[in-house]
A and B are shown apart, each in its own frame.
Chain A
Amino acid sequence: DIQMTQSPSSLSASVGARVTITCRATQGINSYLNWYQQKPGKAPKLLIYTASNLQSGVPSRFSGSGSGTDFILTISSLQPEDFGTYYCQQTYGLSRTFGQGTRVEIK
């Protein structure tokens, strides 16, 4: 089964900072990679689908890139409302595996 590893597990950054989160698959998954944001006590929200496509209504400061095994979520200018946990998810293999999450804190 395909496993997803995110790094870092957590980060703390200032408002306006550029933030990158990486996600690595144990085997190639083409571009079948989604990114979600989850705030405490809330359901996840889709940010990016198929590696680089911005979901409707999501601010343009969020972007995704990558294909194969290595993927990146970038927040170009961190905003106070961007706190939460970010998950990548692959949908290429038999399972639709999530990464373990990256917790983003605002300094």
Chain B
Amino acid sequence: QITLKESGPTLVKPTQTLTLTCTFSGFSLITDGEGVAWIRQPPGKALEWLAIVYWDDDKRYSPSLQSRLTITKDTSKNQVVLTVTTMDPVDTATYYCAHRGRWQAHDVFDVWGQGTMVIVSS
């Protein structure tokens, strides 16, 4: 059974860097085809895809946020970390990590974490 759980600060100040950790079980990020993505959702708004890291350490970022995002994986800890620099109140959102279905020809997010709420305020 695949599970994912997000962790990180609930409150960050404007201009600070946000670091979120996704801790997962039930799969390994060294296995061919696996991947973990980050998606966020501002209160009352739509989902926004942020980034994905694949088993081979290939990475993709949202073009509109690429300059502020870094995604990394730690296969020994079964974790994926997302950093977001220069946080602003508009970055207030619930941040989700999700598992990429291993056998898919494209990115299909078949299992999601519960999400973690991040508020940006001074």
- Give me the interface of A with B, judged by CB distance under 8 Å: 1, 32, 34, 36, 38, 43-46, 49-50, 55, 87, 89, 91-92, 94-101
- Give me the interface of B with A, judged by CB distance under 8 Å: 37, 39, 46-49, 52, 60, 62-64, 96, 101, 104-110, 112-115
Interface contacts beyond A43-B115, A45-B112, A92-B106: sample of 14 additional A-B pairs, CB < 8 Å, sorted by A: A1-B63, A43-B96, A44-B109, A49-B104, A49-B110, A55-B110, A87-B47, A89-B47, A94-B60, A95-B64, A96-B37, A96-B60, A97-B49, A98-B48
Q: How far is the CB of A89 from chain B (nearest CB, A)?
A: 7
Could you tell me the dominant secondary structure of chain A's interface residues? loop
Report Cα–Cα, A1/B64, bound state, in Å: 9
Please, which residues of chain A bring their CB within 8 A of the CB of B115? 43
Contact of A89 among B49, B101, B110, B114 (CB under 8 A): B49
